[in-house]
Amino acid sequence: MILVAYQRQEELTRKSFAPFLPFHSEGIFAQLSSLLRGQVRENEGREAEPSVGDIDSQSVKTSTNVPLTSQGIDPGKKIVGRKRNILTNSIGLLLAVMVTAATWSSP
């Protein structure tokens, strides 16, 4: 029952985002995000390109349905799951996101 519900959600997600896939594969979203971030920074009186960044991570528990190859154990927090890593600039605008197994540690 749970597997059927998950497959249905996955199917609906693919159908919902299908019109946006060409934009993603051509890098249009990344370009648009970069341009908007530059405009916000210039409106704040800063250079368009950031010179300083901040890395943060959060360990998140995963369900039992997640493949073992994509999860790990965060020894510091004793959490089995994944780790969300973000990079922001000095005013808090998002620069990058990466999801890894919880065993991976930030540099």
Q: What does the DSSP 8-state code read for residue 65?
A: T
* Pick from 52, 47, 60: nearest CA to 99: 60
pLDDT at 91 over 80: yes
The proportion of the chain whose per-residue pLDDT surpasses 70, expressed as a percent, equals 79
Predicted confidence band of residue 2 (pLDDT cuts 50, 70, 90): very low
Domain ranges of the chain: 1-49, 51-107
pLDDT, tens only, 40-86:
999 999 999 888 899 988 888 877 777 766 677 777 777 777 888 88
Assign 3 a pLDDT band (cuts: 50, 70, 90): very low
Output the six-digit token pair for 61: 């528990």
Q: What is the pLDDT of residue 30?
A: 85
State how far the alpha carbon of 54 is from the alpha carbons of 63, 81, 87, 106, in Å. 29, 23, 6, 11
